[in-house]
Amino acid sequence: MKKKALSVVLASAMTASMLLSGCGNTDAPASSEAQPSSEAQSEASSEAPAEESNLLPALSADEQGKMGDCTTPRSNYVQYPYEGAEGVTLTYWLPVPSNVQNHPDTAESVQMTEWAQEWQRLTGITVEFIGPTTDTDTNFNLMTTDTKLPDIVEWEWSTSYPGGPSQAYDDGMLIYLNDYIKADGPAADLWQWLQDNPHVDKSIKDDNGNYYCFPFVRGSKYLQCTSGLIYRKDLLEKSGYTGSLETIDDWTAAMTALKDSGVETPMTYQDMNYLMNGTFNAYSIRPGMYLDDKDGKVHYGFIEESYKDWMIQMNEWVKAGLLDANVPTNKSADAQQKMLDGTSAVTYGAGGSRLGTWNKTAWKEPDTYGADYELVAAQFPVLTAGTTVKYGGASYDYATTSKASASITADCENPEIAAAFLNFCYSQTGHYAINFGTEGVSYTLDADGNAQYTDLIMNNPDGLSVAVAMAHYGRGNMSGAFVQDPNYIFGYYAQQQQKDALYMWNDGTDSQSTLIPPVTMTADEANEYAELNSKISTAVGEYRVKWYNMESDVSADWDAYVAQIGPDVERMIEIYQAAVDRYQAR
C-alpha cells in the first residue's frame, strides 16, 4: 500500500482562512469549534434492506429536521455483541482530549475511560486506543509513515488532508465505506441516521459519491454557535441606557452611555479575530471565504467594499473612546481583566469559558467585582433593525473543523468489525452511551427521553470538575465519531445566563447558509490555494493593523490594496467555487 509523509501545515492554513469566523463548539469542556442541504436521499436509500420489517418509517419533511438541527439516532438495527468479533483486537488512533488527560486515571490514554470500556463491553469488540497527548499534527504525520496503520483513525479529511478524501484513499489512509454504510450492512444504524439527515449524507461523501468517514456531527443548532457578543448588564443598567442592542447605531448609543457613566473603554477584545467575529455580521461579510447570501457565490471578505466600511466604523469608535485602541496587541488576560474590573463592558466570548467563568469568578468575590455583576449575551449586530443574522458565528452539523471523524484504513484486516464498532454510536442505544455514559450512573432520562447528568458528574464526590467528570463517562463534551447531543451543553451550562446565550446566538439566525460547505479540493488545488493564501495573508494582516491603528487611511489605501491582492484573491475564489460546484453536484 502506498503511504507518504504529509504536511498538515498546508491544509491548516487553508482551513484557517476558510473558517476563521466559525463559532463552533469552543467552550471549555469541548474541542474546537462548522453542510446542510435539503438534497434528495442518497443512493443508499434505494437499496433493499435485509429485513423490510426492521426499517423505521420514513420521516416527513418537517421531521427530517431543518438545517442546523439534526434528528437523534432512532434505530438499533445491528445486533450487539457483534457476532464474529471474538479474538479480534482493533487499534484506534485518536488524540487524547485535555479533559481526559486531566483525570488521574487516564492522563496518557482514553483506554481506561468509562466510555471506552463501556463501548467495548456493549459491542463485544475489543479495541486498543492509541494516540498522542500533545502535538497532534506532527504525530499524525508520523503515524502516516508507519509500516502498518492503525485500523481506525480519527481525523478530518476534507480540508485537513491535502487532496481531500480521494487522495487519502489513494494513499491508503482510508477505504471507502459504501459496502458497510447500507441498510443491511454492519453500519446500518448510521445508514438510517443519514437517511433522516440527508444534508449530512451528502457531506460525508467525496465528489464521486463514496462514503469515506463516520462523521462527528453537532446534532443541534445550539451546539453550532456557542460564542458571541457578551456585555455587563449591570453596568449598562447603571448607565441609564434603555434602548435596544440590535444595530451598529444602537451599540454606538449604548457605548456612549457607558462611557459617560464612567466605563473607561466600553468595548474590548482579546485580538482582531475576536473583533471581526463579533461585528462582521453587520457588514454581511466573513473573514476569508464565504458564500454570499444574495448571489450564492464564493466571496472573500477582506476584499469586499463593506470591509472598508467596517474599518471606517471601527476607527470612529476608537476615536470616540468607545472601542479599545489596543485590540491588535491585547491578550486573553487583558480582555478578562477589563471585563471583570469594569474598565470595559462589551466583548466577544464563549458561553462557558468566558461568560460562565467570569460570572462565577465575580459572584465569588462581590466585594471586589460588585454585588450586581452580571454578564449576558447579545445578538450579532446588524445595520438595519429587523435584519436576519446571516454572517454571525455558526458552524456546520458535520463538524469538519474538529478533526474527529473516523475512517477505516486500508491496513485494517477486519473492516466489517471496525464498521460495526463505529456504527454503535449512531444507534439509539449507542447515542446515549457515547454521549453520557451509563444510564443510572452518570445520567438519567426524563419522561421526554432527555438525558440529565447525575451528581456523579455535576457534584463529583472525588472533586473532579464537571468537564473532567463528563469526559470520563462519555464523549458528549468532546468531539468524535458520533452525533453530539445538545443536552450535554444544557447540562454543563449551570447558569441561566449561559442557556439564554445559546438561544440568543442561534434562534432566528440563518448563518449556516453563508458558510463554505465541506468541499474537497484536489491535491493540485490545495497546493495552489495554500501558496496563494500564504502570499496574501501577510499583506491583509499588515494592512488591517495599520488601518486599525490609524497609521494609514483605509479609504486612501483601498484601491492600491485591492490591486495588490486582487489577482491572487480572484484565483483563490475560482478554486473554491469549483470545489463548491462539485459539492453541490454530488
pLDDT tens per residue, range 483-495: 999 999 999 999 9
- pLDDT for the residue numbered 180: 98
- pLDDT for the residue numbered 42: 28
- pLDDT for the residue numbered 49: 37
Inter-residue contact 473 to 114 (CB < 8 Å): yes
Handedness of CA 148, 151, 154, 156 (dihedral sign): positive
Residues 57, 366: Cα–Cα separation, whole Å? 56
Q: Which of 42-56, 64-78, 439-453, 528-542 has the lowest mean pLDDT?
A: 42-56
- Whether residue 303 is predicted with pLDDT greater than 50 in this model: the reply is yes
- pLDDT for the residue numbered 130: 97
**SS3 category, 382:** strand
Residue 321 CB partners (closer than 8 Å, separation 6+)? 259, 265
- Whether residue 340 is predicted with pLDDT greater than 90 in this model: the reply is yes
pLDDT tens per residue, range 502-526: 999 999 999 999 999 999 888 899 8
Residues 115, 118: Cα–Cα separation, whole Å? 5
pLDDT tens per residue, range 390-411: 999 889 899 988 899 999 999 9
Q: In this structure, which amino acid lies at residue 190? A: L
Cross-strand pairs, 408: 152
- Whether residue 551 is predicted with pLDDT greater than 60 in this model: the reply is yes
What is the C-alpha end-to-end distance of the chain, expressed in Å? 28
Residues 323, 493: Cα–Cα separation, whole Å? 29
Inter-residue contact 164 to 520 (CB < 8 Å): yes
* pLDDT, mean of residues 34-50: 29
Percent of the chain past pLDDT 90, that is, above it, reads 83
* pLDDT, mean of residues 281-304: 97
Q: Which of 103-107, 127-131, 282-286 has the lowest mean pLDDT?
A: 103-107
- Whether residue 120 is predicted with pLDDT greater than 80 in this model: the reply is yes
- pLDDT for the residue numbered 482: 98
- pLDDT for the residue numbered 30: 35
**What cell was used for 290?**
464565504
Percent of the chain past pLDDT 70, that is, above it, reads 89
- pLDDT for the residue numbered 162: 83
- pLDDT for the residue numbered 20: 40
* Residue 470, CB-side half-sphere exposure with 13 Å CA sphere: 28
The CA–CA distances, whole Å, from 519 to 18, 202, 234, 428, 499 equal 11, 11, 44, 29, 32
- pLDDT for the residue numbered 31: 32
* pLDDT, mean of residues 245-262: 98
Residues 16, 382: Cα–Cα separation, whole Å? 25
- DSSP-based helix, strand, coil % in the chain, nearest 5: 45, 10, 45
- Parallel/antiparallel/unpaired status of strands 152-155 and 217-218: unpaired
DSSP letter at 447? T
Inter-residue contact 466 to 489 (CB < 8 Å): no
**Cα 553 to chain center, whole Å?**
35
- Whether residue 376 is predicted with pLDDT greater than 60 in this model: the reply is yes
Inter-residue contact 406 to 481 (CB < 8 Å): yes
* pLDDT, mean of residues 459-469: 96
Of the candidates 580, 42, 156, the residue with the CA atom closest to the CA atom of residue 399: 156
* pLDDT, mean of residues 179-202: 97
Q: Confidence band (pLDDT; 50, 70, 90) for 197?
A: very high
- Output the average pLDDT for the chain: 90
**SS3 category, 377:** strand
pLDDT tens per residue, range 53-79: 457 876 665 555 445 679 999 999 999
- pLDDT for the residue numbered 64: 52
Of the candidates 202, 92, 156, 155, the residue with the CA atom closest to the CA atom of residue 424: 92
* pLDDT, mean of residues 18-44: 34
- pLDDT for the residue numbered 56: 82
Model confidence pTM above 0.75: yes
- Whether residue 580 is predicted with pLDDT greater than 60 in this model: the reply is yes
E-strand ranges in 219-329 read 227-232, 289-291, 298-300
